[in-house]
Amino acid sequence: MITGASSGIGAEIAREYARRGVPLILTARREDRLAQLADELRARVPIEIISADLADPTAPARLCDEIERRRLPVRILVNNAGYGVPGRYRSKDWKTHADFLQVMLGATSELTWRLLPSICAHGQGRIINVASFAALVPAADGQTLYAPAKAYLVKFSEALSLENADRGVHVTALCPGFTWSEFHDVTGTRAMMSKLPKWMWLHADAVARAGIDAAERGQVVVVPGAFYKTMYCLIRHLPDSWALKLMGRNSGKIRKVD
């Protein structure tokens, strides 16, 4: 099952799994986009679509009830649904932040909890949590909750990996950097982000393959792309105060901070 499967990395993960012959359950808010993707992939594998808005706290339970009603065994879970909230913390009302936290943390945690017995029952289960390179470096000014939420996914993945390794379950946190997708269109930062050099950008299909390959070999944290691997190594060796100051000087280039 892939959440947030209607576009971007989620859709490319669906396409990659379909190429590998894995039947799919696709979920997202936009049922029309899910239907289009299902029509594209149905010639390769069986596809089920279930629309759900994970900002609704009741959605994870209802989604899992529907999966059970259709008798769909889940061996692989991809927690991909997510977005960013542009601007500084007090520039948005609390409902906006609460919905964000529900999608990024609440829904991911609950879906994993509810589906884990099915995933473990297969003996070769996989969980991919789509985090971000932002989880691994000092937080930037703007989109205040984004990096903390993604850092949670990394630690969540590490803990789940240790807990379930003896059951044959591989858990992976996928941590891509800037990736060509609708993400920056939704946050209204496309014009700003387009000023960044093209070599800083990853393609969503390559990110999808990196995540799936990492899960298959049991790698817990994967950073796609040579540039981001190098940056991660460099930042890990900088004093925290230096790294934070460096991010502070450059936040305006990568975040909308008004």
Catalytically active residues, by annotation: 146
Token pair recorded at residue 61: 């339970």
Chain position carrying tokens 């919905």: 99
Q: What residue type is assigned to position 63 of the chain?
A: L
Provide CB contacts within 8 A for 128, sequence distance 6+. 13, 76, 77, 78, 79, 80, 171, 172, 174, 211, 212, 215
Gap between the Cα atoms of 222 and 17, Å rounded? 18
